[in-house]
Amino acid sequence: NAGVTQTPKFRILKIGQSMTLQCTQDMNHNYMYWYRQDPGMGLKLIYYSVGAGITDKGEVPNGYNVSRSTTEDFPLRLELAAPSQTSVYFCASSYSIRASADTQYFGPGTRLTVL
Amino acid sequence: AQSVTQPDIHITVSEGASLELRCNYSYGATPYLFWYVQSPGQGLQLLLKYFSGDTLVQGIKGFEAEFKRSQSSFNLRKPSVHWSDAAEYFCAVGDDKIIFGKGTRLHILP
């Protein structure tokens, strides 16, 4: 099993450009998450999904969109990139949404810089 | 409001020395508590978690943590650190939504 994979690993965008961060998991997990990690700030939840076709906002959803057409994939879309979106983005998945019942498995991250 | 505080941004210890990383939390109900480790360039990996029962929790890589309700703390310990333990450590609280602390970066002196 590859676990949670993310592409690309690095990306530089210009202000106003758009891009999609890809996330795929092969563990048949229903629950998937997108976090951003800023230096000294820990992780903040952007969006999460409880299954194909169902998504919900996390703590910092502004400027992002997500979709979940399949169990395996959970892409994160930036429509108009802004310097404030410079961050490291982590995708995670779990069998249960309750951390008491299951661990979240994290991908290796995508480092995004917006100039 | 739920929150997690890791008071130490950086900690430096010598290889072979003991380690304690501090974590304080604020949570309205019975807390579910976690410690994650992030090695350079990697995602987060769960070290251990506490839900109920024995307040001393054993995790992977020789780590343990002790839940102290009276102090709202969940400190992470290791009796003897190895150079490979150099990483960033995150304390977290929650269940369906996990709140992460800001992290403590551990440096190991040879």
* pLDDT tens digits in sequence order for chain A, 115 residues long: 679 999 999 999 999 999 999 999 999 999 999 999 998 788 999 999 999 999 999 999 999 999 999 999 999 999 999 999 999 999 999 988 776 667 889 999 999 999 9
**Closest-CA distance of chain A to residue B16, Å:** 27
CB contact under 8 A, B96 and A98: yes
| Contact by Cβ (8 Å): B78, B10 | no
Find the farthest-apart pair of alpha carbons in chain B and give their distance in angstroms, rounded: 42
Nearest alpha carbon to residue A50 among A75, A26, A33: A33
Question: What tens digit of pLDDT does each residue of B30-47 get?
Answer: 788 999 999 988 888 999
Contact list in A for residue B100 (CB cut-off 8 A) is 42-44
How do beta strands A31-37 and A87-94 pair?
A: antiparallel
What pLDDT is stored for residue A114 in this prediction? Answer: 96
Which residues in chain B land under pLDDT 70? none
The reply to whether residue A106 touches residue B44, judged by beta carbons under 8 angstroms, is: yes
| CB-based contact A90:A35 (threshold 8 Å) | yes
Q: Which residues contact A39 (CB under 8 A, 6 or more apart)?
A: none
Task: Reduce the DSSP state of residue B80 to 3 states and report it.
Answer: coil
Q: Which two tokens stand for residue B36?
A: 């994650």
Q: Which residue of B has its CA nearest to A107?
A: B43
B43 neighbourhood in chain A, CB within 8 Å: 4, 90, 92, 106-109
> Hey, which residues does A48 pair with through a beta bridge?
A33, A56
Q: B84: which residues sit within 8 A by CB, 6+ positions away? A: none
Instruction: Specify whether the CB–CB gap between A88 and A70 falls below 8 A.
Output: no
